[in-house]
Chains A and B, each alone.
Chain A
C-alpha cells in the first residue's frame, strides 16, 4: 500500500501523477470484497490526504473533533457542496476534465473536477464487469450523447469507456438532445434479424419513447441481450414507478424485468453500484461502500430501515471520498435497495425554494 509519507513523496503528490494514480488504481482493484481492514486503512489515508487540500472536508473533520478511526466516521459531503464550493483537491492545477451535474442554469450545476479520467475509466469498466453486466459481449447502444458531444457528462464518459474497451461495435443515439429513434430502431431491427445480442443502456427517461404503449412497438431483443437503466425519473415531469417501468421494458424488449440492470452512480463520484430487477439490491465494488443514514438521528440505519445513501468511494481521489446523497434507500445485509430521490418535490407552503429559483 502507498504510504502517506513514504520518503520525500507524499501520497498526495503520488495521486497527482500518472504513476501514482495507476498504482492507486491497482490497489483498489486488488481489494477483496471482505477486506474491511484494508478498506478502512485506505479510506482513512485518502481522507487525511484530501483534508489537507479540500477546505470544506478539513472544516468538517475539525468540527467533528476526533480524527476518524473508521471509514464510517469520515464525514460525507452533501452533493449540494459540489454546487457551492470548489472541491478540487489539486488546485491550482488545471483539471483535465470537469463533469457537471444536470441543471438548467450554471448555479444549478454541481462540478466535479478530475486531473484525468484514467482512474474513472478503470473503476467504471471494472466495476460493471465485476457486477456481471455483460457489456463486453454484445453490441452496445447508448441512449445518451457521445462523450464528444457531452464532454461534461460523467455518464457519457463512462459509456464512452465501455465503448472504447469493448471489442463489439457501439453507438450513441442522442444527438443535440434528441433521441434518433428511427436510427436506433433500424439498428435494433437489424440486430434482431441477424440474431446479434445487444446491450441497450441509458437514462430511464430516454427509454420512455421506445416503450410499448407509448408510440413504440414491441421489439423483442435477441437472446443474450441486456438492458441497463440509470437515474430514474428525478426532476422530470413524467413520473413512472420503477415496477411499471420495468414491466413496460419487459413488454417491449422481451427481457424479464428480473434481469434488467439498474446502475446507480453520480457525477460527484467515480464508482457505481449495480442491481438487477425491480426489487434488486444494489451492490458496490470492493473499493466503495454505501451506508444508509437515518436523517432523524444522523446514525447508520439498521438493516431493513429507510434512510439516505452515503458513499465512501476510494476512487474519488480528486475531490472527496465521502458523499452524502439525498437518495432514499433501505439498508440490507449485503447492499441497499434504492428507492429514489428524497423529496424530489419538496413539501412546501407558498415559500420560494432553491429549486424554484434555479428553475428560472
Chain B
C-alpha cells in the first residue's frame, strides 16, 4: 500500500472523528508534504537537492497513551498508519473503548496494522523501532529509560494552556462564548484547555464574569457532563477553597457543570479541570514571577485581546508553542506543532542517495523534492 493509498483509506475515517480536525485527503497529503516534502518519499527515492532521498518510517511503533482524552491517541495512531507503520497501543482502561472504536472503523488492511495491547509488554516495547509516549514527566522518563539508544523516542509531557484577555474593558457575549467553548471542550482536561484566564487589574472582571456565567450555562445545557464521584469531589473542593479564601465565585450549584472564581494567588496554580475556570487579575510587571511555576510547561495561549510583544516573548520563554484566537484553542489545525515539534518528522529516518539517478532497482517516485 502506497502513501497515496493510505491517504485515501484514512480520510473517510478522519471524518468520523471530527476532533482530529482533519476532514479531507488533502489535509493528510499536506501533513505528509509538510513533514517529508513529498508523500511519495515514503514509497521510494524522491529528488532531493542534487541527489535522492527516501523516508523510512518505523516498522513498528509502540504508543503509550495517557489519561481520559482519546484524541491524542487517535492522532498518534493516525500518524503511525499514515506512515505505514505497524502500531501497538498501550492504553489506560479508560481509553480502550475509544481506541477500539477508532480501530474498528479502519478498513481491514489498516486495522491489521493497529493492535491494542492488554497491558504493558516489555517484549513488544523492545521489538518496536519507535516509541511514542503521552503522560506525566515520570511516565516519559520511565519509558525513555526502558528504550534502547537506537529506538526513536518521542515523549509528549503534560502541559497547561492559558487565555489572555489583558485589559479587556468592554467584554462581549461573543468573547464570553469563545472562552466558554475553549473551557468546556474535553471537560477542561486537555493540554489545550485553559487553566487560567489572565486579566490585568482594571479589566472589567465582573462584567466579563456576568457574560461568562451566561455562556457557561448555555454550554452546560448543550453539552452536560455526567459527573463521577471523584470529579464531583474535586469540584466541591475547589469551590470550598475559593469560598474559604474569600474569592468571588459563581457556580451552577448541585449540577457541578461549571465554576468560575476570581483568584487572588501569589503564583499560578493549575485548576482541577472539570470546567473550573479561574479569572486571575495579575499586574503585567508581576506576570513573569506569577507564571514561574509554569516554566517549560506552557502549551497554548488563547488570545482574546491585543497581546503586547513583551508578553508574547514571556509566554514563549515559558514554553508556549501556539498562539490562537480565543474560541479556537481546542481545535488546532492539522499542521499544529504539538509541543513545538513538527508532526511526523521525529519518527522518520532519511536515506540519501547521491547521484544523478536513483539507486539501481529502486524506482524513482514522482515528487516535488523537499
Instruction: Tell me the A residues contacting B by CB distance below 8 Å.
Output: 55-57, 59-60, 63, 75, 77-78, 80-81, 84-85, 107, 294-298, 306-308, 324, 326, 342-343, 346-354, 356-357, 359-360
Which residues of B are at the interface with A, using a C-beta cutoff of 8 A?
66-69, 72, 94, 134-138, 156-160, 186, 188-191, 193, 195, 227, 229-230, 232-234, 236-237, 240-241, 243-246, 254, 256, 267, 269-270, 272-273, 293-294, 297
Q: How far is the CA of A297 from the CA of B159 in the complex (A)?
A: 31
Least Cβ distance of B133 to chain A in Å? 11
Q: Which 4 pairs, one residue from A and one from B, show the smallest C-beta to C-beta distance?
A: A349-B69, A56-B244, A295-B233, A349-B189
In the assembled complex, the Cα of A130 lies from the Cα of B199 at a distance in Å of 55
Q: Are the CB atoms of A351 and B233 closer together than 8 Å?
A: no
Known pairs A349-B189, A357-B293; A298 contacts B254 (CB<8 A): yes
Residues of A within 8 A of B159 (CB): 350-352
Q: Is the CB of A343 within 8 A of B230?
A: yes
Closest A residue to B189 by beta carbon equals: A349
> Cβ of B67 and Cβ of A357 under 8 Å apart?
no
**Which residues in B have their C-beta under 8 angstroms from that of A59?**
243-246
Q: Can you list 7 A-B pairs, Cβ within 8 angstroms, ordered by A?
A: A60-B244, A63-B243, A81-B241, A308-B233, A343-B234, A356-B270, A357-B293
Taken together as a complex, chains A and B put the C-alpha atoms of A350 and B67 apart, in Å, by 7
Shortest B280–chain A CB gap in Å is 15
Q: Which residues of B contact A85 (CB under 8 A)?
A: 244-245
Chain B residues, CB < 8 A from A78:
237, 240-241, 244
Q: Are B69 and A60 in contact (CB under 8 A)?
A: no
On chain A, the residues within 8 Å of B67 by CB distance are 347-351
| Residues of A with C-beta under 8 A to B256 | 296
Bound CA span A343–B233, Å? 10
For residue B70, which residue of chain A has the nearest CB?
A349
The answer to whether A298 touches B236 (Cβ under 8 A) is yes
Closest to A55 in B: B246
Contact of A297 among B193, B246, B254 (CB under 8 A): B254
Compute the total of residue contacts between A and B using a CB distance below 8 Å. Answer: 130
**Smallest beta-carbon distance B197→chain A, Å:** 15
Q: How far, in whole Å, are A271 and B92 apart by their CA atoms in the complex?
A: 38
Q: A295 and B230 in contact (CB under 8 A), knowing A349-B190, A352-B191?
A: yes
Residues of B within 8 A of A353 (CB): 158, 270, 272
- Contact across chains for A348 and B273 when beta carbons are under 8 A apart: yes
Q: With contacts A56-B245, A352-B297 known, is A342 near B233, CB below 8 A?
A: yes
Q: How far is the CB of A72 from chain B (nearest CB, A)?
A: 16
Q: A78 CA to B242 CA in the complex, in Å?
A: 11
Contacts beyond the supplied A81-B240, A352-B160, A352-B294: 19 A-B pairs with Cβ under 8 Å: A59-B243, A60-B243, A81-B245, A84-B245, A295-B229, A296-B227, A296-B232, A343-B233, A343-B234, A347-B94, A349-B69, A349-B190, A349-B191, A350-B66, A351-B273, A352-B270, A353-B158, A353-B272, A359-B137
Residues of A within 8 A of B94 (CB): 347
Give Cα A352–Cα B195 distance, bound, in whole angstroms: 9
User: A77 CA to B67 CA in the complex, in Å?
Assistant: 29
Quote the shortest CB–CB distance from B171 to chain A (angstroms): 25
Q: Is the CB of A356 within 8 A of B236?
A: no
Alpha-carbon distance between A356 and B295 when the two chains are bound, in angstroms: 12
Chain B residue contacts of A326, Cβ below 8 A: 233, 237
Is the pair A351, B191 in contact by a Cβ cutoff of 8 Å? yes
A295 to B156, CA, bound (A): 32
Q: Give the complex CA separation of A84 and B264 in angstroms.
A: 11
Take A296-B227, A306-B229 as given contacts and tell me if A351 and B245 are in contact as well, using a CB distance cutoff of 8 Å. no
In the complex, what distance in Å separates the CA atom of A228 from the CA atom of B188? Answer: 42
Determine the chain B residues whose CB is within 8 A of the CB of A84 once the complex forms: 241, 245
Question: CB distance B233 to A349 under 8 Å?
Answer: no
Measured CA separation A81–B247 after assembly (Å): 13
Query: Are A349's CB and B245's CB within 8 A?
Result: no
List chain B residues, Cβ under 8 A from A75. Answer: 240
Chain A residues with CB below 8 A from B270, complex form: 351-354, 356-357
**What B residues does A80 contact at CB under 8 A?**
237, 241
Residue of A nearest to B159 (CB): A352
Taking a contact as CB atoms under 8 Å apart, the answer to whether A351 and B243 are in contact is no
The answer to whether B272 touches A294 (Cβ under 8 A) is no
Q: In the complex the two chains form, what is the Cα distance from A348 to B273 in whole Å? A: 9
User: Is the CB–CB distance between B244 and A294 below 8 Å?
Assistant: no
